[in-house]
Amino acid sequence: MNLKLYRVISETPILVNGRDGYKVSFAYVDPGNVGEVPEVIQGIDYYFSNGDQTLIITLEIDDGNPEEHLSDFLRFVETVEIGG
């Protein structure tokens, strides 16, 4: 991915199931293949630290606003076990 085509829209601390994390909303342009129309992809990354590792859970949407899918995404995020 060409990082010139990637933009951070917002960044904020989060708390999910008692775990501190970080939410990053972003957008980027997927140029596609030759002859295809480029697509704007919007997404949300949730970052959770666990020792010297970081778990990243990502939602990407190519046809709308990821905030419209946030409740389903959060239900999924809450099922992920972080650490052990």
Whole-number pLDDT of residue 42? 92
How does pLDDT run across 4-26, given as a tens digit for each residue? 689 999 999 999 888 899 999 99
The pLDDT > 70 percentage for the chain reads 93
**Enclosing domain of residue 11:** 3-77
Take residue 44 and report the two structure tokens written for it.
Answer: 């949300």
Total domains in the fold of the chain: 1
Residue 30 CB neighbour total at 10 angstroms: 14
Instruction: Indicate whether this model's pTM tops 0.85.
Output: no
In a domain, 25, yes or no: yes
Q: Which residues contact 65 (CB under 8 A, 6 or more apart)?
A: 42
In a domain, 84, yes or no: no
In a domain, 82, yes or no: no
Q: Is the pLDDT of residue 67 over 70?
A: yes
In a domain, 14, yes or no: yes
